[in-house]
Amino acid sequence: MHVLITGGAGFIGSHLVDHHLAKGDLVHVVDNLSTGSRDNLALHLDSPNFRFTEADIVTWPGLGEAVGWADRVYHMAAVVGVFRVLEQPIGVMATNIAGCERLLRAVDRCGWKPQVLVASSSEVYGPRIDPRLSEDMDLIIQPEAPPRWNYAISKLADEAFALSYARVKDIPVTVVRLFNTVGPRQTGRYGMVVPRFVSQAVSGQPLTVFGDGEQSRAFTDVRDTVVMLDQLAGQANTQGLIVNVGGEHELSMNALADRVIERAGSSSGIERLPYEVAYGQEYVDIPHRCPDVTRLHGLIDYRPQWTLDATLDDLIARVRQAEGS
């Protein structure tokens, strides 16, 4: 199979590369390296089954040819991370929406219909406080939405484009709403909590918990996520569907910090930072962010193999190895 991955040098995208090359597929990655890294692809750069193009999906002249080559397209390219979203609210909207629409237009024009999987986000649920979030819920968009929600709005626009192309153009598009994926190669540079906690615990620094720490999330290891994405993209009955992809076991940031300290055997304490200090501006967090995965499990048989403890142990070992400790 020929697989095109936009944003393939990023965290999840690079694990999709690993997964498909291991299956014997041919993989082409396009990434502008704004948040991704060549290092994430280092093991494959000399592989005859792999090709990398450094380019911006919004302007890349080779998009049509690449889409026409592909049997499957994963659209993972996006501006991500809380810090970048707050710092670049206009760029987030412009890049995420324009990139997705341009990709879908290229698929429509390529002369045949590759499978397309468009990555969305749990952020589209907005400030809902429900303990479980399901795909058929009404979404909340606040009036005069602050920049914090620009990413969610851009992803919601991507979903609307994807479903419209599925219905009007009969393109086999599946939309996945990703919930708090974690694992190797994720960086805390843009606001992701697990790599930040792990790095702080290994180095003996205080773990910085934002707000009161009672906000809770459900985490999924990226190595499980890519298997689920592969299976969803390969199902004919997922065309035009939105599917939550994530874990079912929720825990608070306070509990996560305690868990990381325990798994690392660290002497680190916990330091709580007000959101205004952490982000440099007012920030409204969501108390719960946990998916209802009934639809997911009705479509595929796969169940996650990585527990949170196993993921944390793996990440802690990797950080220690990298730091020579």
| Per-residue CA distances from 84 to 20, 222, 287, 296 (Å) | 29, 21, 22, 30
Q: Which of 75, 98, 81 is nearest to 29 (CA)?
A: 75
* Rounded CA separation 245/296 (Å): 7
| DSSP state letters, 170-216 | ---EEEEEE--EE-TT--TTTT-HHHHHHHHHHHTPPEEEETTS--E
Residue that has been written with the tokens 């710092």 in this structure: 87
Q: Which of 80, 94, 147 is nearest to 281 (CA)?
A: 147
Q: Is 74 a catalytic residue?
A: no
| Cβ contact 152:146 at 8 Å | no
Out of 74, 125, 151, 279, which one is annotated catalytic? 151
Q: Please give the distance of CA 3 from its chain centroid, rounded to a whole number.
A: 18
Name residues whose C-beta falls within 8 Å of residue 60's C-beta, 6 or more positions apart in sequence: 30, 53
Which positions are annotated as active-site residues? Answer: 151
